[in-house]
Chains A and B, each alone.
Chain A
Amino acid sequence: MVYAIAFNTPSIIAWWTGILFIALSIVCIGFMFLLRGRDSFLKNRSQAIALKWQTTLNQVTVISKNEFRSKGQDVHRLTPNEKKNLLETLHEQGRFEPIDPIPNQELPDFLFLWNYLHETVFGESKDNLNSLANALDVNQNAGRMLQSRSLKNQILAINTLGNLREHTAYEQIERIMLGSDPIISLWAWRALFRIDFEKTLQKHLAKIALREDWSPAFVVKVLLELDSKLISLPLINLVEESYQNRLNERQLSRTISYLSITHLDLSKSLIHKILTESEEVEVIIACLRLVNSRKSLPRVRELLKSERWEIRLQVVQTIGRFGLKKDEKLLISALNDLDWWVRYRAATALIQMPSMSEERFEKLSTTLPNEFARDILHQVLAEIRLLCYVQPSSSILSR
């Protein structure tokens, strides 16, 4: 057979591209097997490290007798003699005897175990873990790990230095905190608080208002780890400054929401002031969630006329929280709201009012002129009854 076209340019390119791709695939397969071999080695090493440090770390983290008693916890399967010996050693020495430094390649695995335990234990056990780390010169090695290109090592180093309260690393971690990565920077912010509470409070508390990329939930978690007596006033000042400096709506509302972790008595006048003056929806909603002063109630009631359903929703919840008999009428009028959620929350608030009885609520659900209001009352009543069935102890209607 005579072919019209032999091996022309497109065919040659196709041929060599195909060969190249197959060769690349074979390289990838080889790499996969190498990777498996390497990972198997690393896994074995991790296990060996865990085994090597298991006893020491267990000894270090055992809690003192008194703490056991006060918390009513169970002793970790240690015989009384073993526990006594351990506690005596820890208490008498206060610090561990120098141990050989950890080889660099073992450090990440050790630090993971060490940090893991640090996050799970309390009080004296944390100090004991720090004593062990100091005996092993972990602080210096972790300081070097901060420069690592590996994100995993960097995270471990930040956390370790934070837990060790290593002042020499403050500036390095501060630089990381100012970086763009929202997770790493937030993690670094937490470490800074652990290292130097006063300094970080003064220099970096305002970051929670400015960094919109930080998870508010994680910020609250970190703030809750701090002493609420010490954090309350600076937080209130921060909100006040942010309000005066006309921070944007989202930032301000987020900052206000952090006030929920403070003593609300301290912040009620500020919340009242912002609630009265502000016209921004998110800011008003954030304030409504926190209002606890009767002085603010006239403004709260006035906001039930707002055009925004989100505000009306918060208003009925706030009114329900105060539980004043004279607000019953307001809540009943909110049952006619155009928005389903406002009606639903109004009904929920109404049924939880101290002045409301099951009989009255049931009567309302049949006598109100608005069909939608009646429907929502029926639903809430049924839900509450079902809830009582599921959790008899939490029966709301038993009142």
Chain B
Amino acid sequence: MLRSAIIEYIVQIVQSFYLGYFIILNGIYLALTIISLRVLPRFMQRQTIHKFPHTETGFEPPISLVVTAYNEEAVIVPTIKALLQLDYPEYEILIVNDGSKDNSLAVLTQEYALEALPMAFRQRIKHKPVKTVYQSKLHPNLRVIDKENGGSKADASNAGINGARYGLFMPLDADTILERDCLKLMVQPFMMNPHTVGVGGNVRILNGCEVRDGYLYETNLPKNWLALFQVLEYTRAFLSGRVGWNYFNALPLISGAFGLFQKEAVIEVGGYSHKSLGEDMDLVLRLHRHFRLRGKPYRIDFVVDPVCWTEAPETLSILKKQRVRWQRGLFDCLWENRQLLFHPRGGPVGWMSFPFLLFLEGISPIFESFGLLFFIACFSTGLVNGEGTISFLLLSFGTGFLLSISSILLEEITFRTYPKKKDLMMLLVAAFVENFGYRQLMSLWRLEGIIKWILRTESSWGTMTRNASWSATTPSQVPTLPPAMLETTAKEQLIKPEKVTT
């Protein structure tokens, strides 16, 4: 009798804990969505100004686009083609070939008539040695830094930052497709507020879309269900999460695929970290930590209308690797920047977004996975009846569904990226279906990420297999040089080893 009373008491405590946890976690998500619902329509109305012609001043600061590439021969040419046609007064494109084993360099040399430049390369932040810097003879604003593989995107990005000519730089992935006017929109916060050190933009899923000559020609939803679920995830993350945190100047992350940074500020904090798997989040948190704890004025902003498109994994194995890596990266970043947590000078980052990342986002997979197992166990052992179990499952489904639906609503109010009615219906169906399997799978993979982080198992940056199905230039169309010629070209062009100045 006493034993069953104790068990009953424990079950009730666990139930109450989960109820409280759900309400707090999803309450915060909903609060962020409500803030976005209030902020975004006004923001969109203000953008009316940019619809008038000649709103660009011609005095916009120049930008260095740093494209990191490792074995990207399939997509690098169309990406550069598109970048060369961006609508912005002054910018340079800096491709960092991170020791690619494929024909990336040969393809670039052939396509853009690269010639070695005896560049006095200065290394203000650490990275693996640079072999050669090339300059395109066709485009004065295109250079290629060929370096030894550093095993991480951070290493390649740091080389790009060191080689960048301009005060603002934008790190990009080699498969990223930018909208033509995105630089003009991204630079606005830097022009309005001199204390701005970083600006994030909106990232969307490219799968299913049609790209011609590096331009987005037609927007479609992906046919692959995994990619479709990721469309929802990206919408939730960018339209409600980031807009909401940005309202408090507490943005914890600028996507590695699309952000604009003040170079000197990034160098001041030591550039991208080689240690962290989540180098993009780590950089933003370090910028927060650096400026907050020193009491220096700064602003890390997020603007929703500049959009970049990137390819999402379409297979379970690649998606799993990505999610495990992200979760490990999250904990790497939180651990490295733990000084921010509840620091008296931490401000909204130290008291709001950082604790949210740690206590709710970070460890939520533990609670979600064990919660699911607990309720199933209680039901199967007769501790809780069907109604009790279903009520918690209903709560879980209801919150997940509402969060996705409210993000789709935000998308509808602002950009309506997918204007076809059929696409809207598909998104709604996906918002329903993702609650049955996909979310649980994500929780399990994230749990695996946490375990691997705790056990400190060997980590790697991992590779993302690009199928480039969206590109009109398929891999087979990419010009390649025969191996013998490739060797000669590399030898001829290697003029000067890296020089480090003090």
Contact = CB atoms under 8 A, between A and B. Distances in A.
Contacts of B476: none
A155 B51 CA distance: 11
Range class of the A interface residue count = 35 or more
A386 interface: yes
B223 interface: no
A215 B502 CA distance: 36
A32 interface: yes
A217 B191 contact: yes
Given A5-B11, A156-B48, A390-B137, A340 B391 contact: no
A319 interface: no
A188 to B, nearest CB: 12
Contact of B406 (A28, A215, A387): A28
Given A5-B11, A151-B42, A372-B120, A221 B395 contact: no
B484 interface: no
Nearest to A387: B140
A182 B192 CA distance: 8
Interface stretch (B12-20, B170-178, B353-361, B456-464): B12-20
A227 B388 CA distance: 76
Interface string A180-210: 0011100100000000000000000000000
Contacts of A218: 57, 191
A116 to B, nearest CB: 6
Given A340-B120, A379-B119, A1 B382 contact: yes
B12 A5 contact: yes
Interface stretch (B204-212, B319-327, B396-404, B440-448): B396-404
A118 to B, nearest CB: 9
A391 B402 CA distance: 57
Interface stretch (A14-22, A79-87, A94-102, A133-141): A14-22
Contact of B191 (A7, A187, A215): A215
A212 B140 CA distance: 35
Interface string A9-40: 01111110111111011001101100110010
Given A25-B401, A386-B117, A6 B388 contact: yes
A7 B137 contact: no
A128 B45 CA distance: 28
Contacts, number: 197
A24 B37 CA distance: 15
Interface of B: 4, 7-8, 11-12, 15-16, 18-19, 22-23, 42, 45-46, 48-49, 51-54, 57-60, 115, 117-120, 122, 135, 137-140, 188, 191-194, 378, 382-385, 387-388, 390-392, 394-399, 401-402, 405-406, 408-409, 412-413, 416, 421, 424, 428, 499, 501-502
5 contacts: A11-B388, A14-B22, A15-B390, A39-B416, A112-B51
Given A379-B120, A382-B118, A386-B135, A8 B12 contact: yes
Nearest to A6: B385
A378 B8 contact: no
Name the prevailing secondary structure of the B interface residues.
helix
Interface string A368-399: 00001001101100110011011100000000
Nearest to B16: A10
B394 A29 contact: no
Contacts of A66: none
A3 B138 contact: no
A304 to B, nearest CB: 19
Contacts of A187: 49
Contacts of B12: 5, 8, 10
A116 B45 contact: no
Given A7-B388, A375-B118, A386-B135, A119 B53 contact: yes
Contact of A220 (B22, B59, B135, B192): B59
Contacts of A15: 387, 390-391, 394-395
Contact of A28 (B119, B135, B409): B409
A281 to B, nearest CB: 14
Among A21, A115, A343, A379, the most chain B Cβ lie within 10 Å of the Cβ of: A21
